[in-house]
Amino acid sequence: MTQHEIWMQQAIREAERAYEKEELPIGAVIVFENRVIAKGYNQVETLNDPTAHAEIIAITSAANYLSSKQLLGCTMYVTLEPCPMCAGAIVLAKLEALYFGAFDNKSGACGSVMDITNNKSLNHILPVYGGILDEKCSEILRSFFDVRR
pLDDT value of residue 131: 98
State pLDDT tens for residues 113-128. Answer: 999 999 999 999 999 9
pLDDT value of residue 136: 98
**Type of residue numbered 19:** Y
Cα 6 from chain centroid (whole Å): 15
How far apart (Å, rounded) are the C-alpha atoms in residues 12 and 109? 20
pLDDT value of residue 19: 97
**Nearest alpha-carbon partner for 93 in 121, 124, 50, 122:** 124
Active-site position among 55, 81, 96, 139 = 55
pLDDT value of residue 57: 98
Q: Are 65 and 95 in contact (CB under 8 A)?
A: no
pLDDT value of residue 147: 83
**Nearest alpha-carbon partner for 68 in 94, 87, 42, 86:** 94
Q: Are strands 97-102 and 128-129 parallel, antiparallel or unpaired?
A: parallel
- Residue 30: strand, helix, or coil: strand
> Annotated catalytic, 55?
yes
Contacts of 129 (CB under 8 A, 6+ apart): 4, 97, 98, 99, 100
| pLDDT tens, the chain, 149 aa long | 899 999 999 999 999 999 999 999 999 999 999 999 999 999 999 999 999 999 999 999 999 999 999 999 999 999 999 999 999 999 999 999 999 999 999 999 999 999 999 999 999 999 999 999 999 999 999 999 998 77
pLDDT value of residue 1: 87
**Type of residue numbered 122:** L
